[in-house]
Amino acid sequence: MPILDVDYIGPVADNVRRALARRIADAAGVVLGSPARGTWVRMRFVSADEYAENEGAEPGVWPVFVHVLGAEPPEGEALATEARRLTEAIAAACARPAENVHLVYAPPGGGRVAFGGRLRS
């Protein structure tokens, strides 16, 4: 069930943009142990004009924000390990440094997310 909403900030080369959602989905699926068609990714490309940091950003450094929704995310050290592995996988898919990839884990989706009208546990 993992659903990843990805905001890719700043300029993006055509060779990176092409099939980026698929590359992220495949990489995340491996990290999260998802079966085929079990990890969903929605991409948004945000132009440099639509992003800001207080006191200005370092030139040429652009983040990737990823909101992660899972049925039952791990806790403690298992979550820390998953976050590190998922960050590295997404960074590689995006051709961005891992320190520029930021994950936000949503509360567990089990029992509150429905696909096609069927509530997932």
The fold adopted by the segment(s) 3-119 is Macrophage Migration Inhibitory Factor (3.30.429)
Domain limits, the chain: 3-119
For the record, the structure tokens of 62 come out as 């652009």
3-state secondary structure of 108: coil
* pLDDT at site 66: 98
Phi then psi dihedrals of residue 22, to 5 deg: -65, -45
Q: Which residues pair with 9 in a beta bridge?
A: 46
% residues pLDDT > 70 (the chain): 100
Global pTM value: 0.92
- Number of helices (H) and strands (E), helices first, in the chain? 3, 6
- Tens digit of each residue's pLDDT (9 = 90 or more) over 6-65: 999 999 889 889 999 999 999 999 999 999 999 999 999 999 899 988 887 777 789 999
Overall average pLDDT of the 56-81 stretch: 92
